[in-house]
Amino acid sequence: MDALTEYLQSKNWETGLSFQKALDLSNHYSLSVVDVERTALSHNIPLTRFLRNNFNCSEQLTLYNSHIAIAGCGGLGGTVAILLTRLGIGSLTLIDPDVFEEHNINRQIFCNYDTINIPKVNAAKRQLSAINPTLEVISHHSSFTAEHLKDAAMVVDGLDSGETRHQLASICAEQNKKLIHGAVHGWNGQSGTATPSNNLIKTLYPTLSKNQSPIQVNGPTIFVTASLQVTEICRQLLGINDISES
């Protein structure tokens, strides 16, 4: 690692360290690409693929070292996953028991005619890894459990019923984790940070309703709401301003 550090500090990295160069250095110094990129960021050398992010290297390294779990990988959860991947999050746990169906195409970012009938988490993992090859993706083609969430810094709510949201919020409270809530209906969307103390989910969903008839959901509403969820995640991880627990 000392030899790598010496090499990195001897060069001009104005345009950042490219993934191909990191791969070459990992082979030369017998290190993982992740170790090379973490070393670069820790020495204030940006990564080319994240150069246009509005983060300094220390903030980018914090994202690189962070692990987020996403329960539900359809409209909201899938969009959150792809935005976090492009921002440079280091690890994602994806949890969803469903496969893609044709009616998902209007709003679910990983759904196309090549992924219909494929588990959502499998399609997401393949596309996310193509965007950021160093991303660690842990996928579970099942309903969420406490075990799935235990290693994550925060959990994203990409669910579609009050009952499952109550279950998720209960697990997050037991594990003392923040839950980044999101929900949509037509042109309306909402996002907020649920904590063990604010009872946000119980307030928003006072009854344990199961899935009812499919609701109408517009794609733009999904993308705006998911963007708000990702913004909250970044602000929480990086300590940028205070987040209202509502």
CA pair distance 137, 122, nearest whole angstrom: 10
Query: How many Cβ atoms are within 10 Å of 159's Cβ, its own excluded?
Result: 24
18, 98, 99, 117 from 102: Cα distances, Å: 37, 13, 10, 9
Percent of the chain exceeding pLDDT 70 equals 96
Would you say residue 211 has pLDDT above 80? no
Give residue 219's pLDDT: 93
Mean pLDDT of 7-22: 96
- Reported as a single tens digit per residue, the pLDDT across 122-171 is 999 999 999 999 999 999 999 999 999 999 999 999 999 899 999 999 99
Mean pLDDT of 180-194: 95
Would you say residue 106 has pLDDT above 80? yes
Would you say residue 209 has pLDDT above 70? no
Percent of the chain exceeding pLDDT 90 equals 89
What stretch of H or E contains 37? helix 33-42
- The confidence band for 210, taking pLDDT boundaries of 50, 70 and 90, is low
Give residue 55's pLDDT: 96
> Comparing C-alpha atoms, which of 126, 160, 131 is closest to residue 143?
160
Give residue 91's pLDDT: 98
Give residue 158's pLDDT: 97
- pLDDT averaged over the chain? 94
More confident residue, 66 or 217: 66
- The confidence band for 213, taking pLDDT boundaries of 50, 70 and 90, is low
Query: How many Cβ atoms are within 10 Å of 220's Cβ, its own excluded?
Result: 11
- Reported as a single tens digit per residue, the pLDDT across 51-100 is 999 999 999 999 999 999 999 999 999 999 999 999 999 999 999 999 99
CA pair distance 107, 148, nearest whole angstrom: 26
Q: β-pairing, 91-95 with 136-140?
A: parallel
Give residue 246's pLDDT: 43
- The amino acid at residue 4 is L
